[in-house]
Amino acid sequence: MAEDSPKRRKANFNEAETEVLIEQVLKHEQLLFAAGPGRASPGQKRKVWELIRHKVNPVAACPRDVEDLKKRWRDLKRRDRSKLCRLSQGCGPPGPPAALGLLLAPEDVPPAAAPPA
């Protein structure tokens, strides 16, 4: 019966995994996301993502692969942008960098991104 059942999904990311992921991606942000002539090659980026995977997996609920981590990072960025958009009520490009909101509680967001009084 187990072989007939559909593939089970992995466990949700726990708080420790998410914290390590954010910390490591922000640490290597320049290498992973820089544009222009100084950007890293795809091979270099792949090595950085593998390094991040090796940092996340010891605290992970289940083994994560690089694609899981990339998807989680995209989801965090998207969720953070929408949160900043709601805070600014403008839904345009957010004032502070998107990664900043991931590290700040809503009450710690700089006044430029806070809703008008």
pLDDT tens per residue across span 27-76: 999 999 988 888 899 999 999 999 999 999 999 989 999 999 999 999 99
Is 45 a domain residue?
yes
By C-alpha distance, which of 66, 57, 108, 64 is closest to 87?
108
Is 98 a domain residue?
no
Is 75 a domain residue?
yes
Q: Burial level of 114, CB count in 10 A (0-12/13-18/19+)?
A: middle
Is 109 a domain residue?
no
Is 100 a domain residue?
no
> Taken in order 47, 69, 56, 106, is the CA torsion positive or negative?
positive
Q: How confident is the model at residue 2 (pLDDT cuts 50, 70, 90)?
A: low
Mean pLDDT of the chain: 80
Q: How many domains, in total, are found in the chain? A: 1
User: Is the pLDDT reported for residue 113 higher than 50?
Assistant: no
Range of the domain at 39: 15-88
pLDDT at 1: 47
Is 108 a domain residue?
no
pLDDT at 110: 53
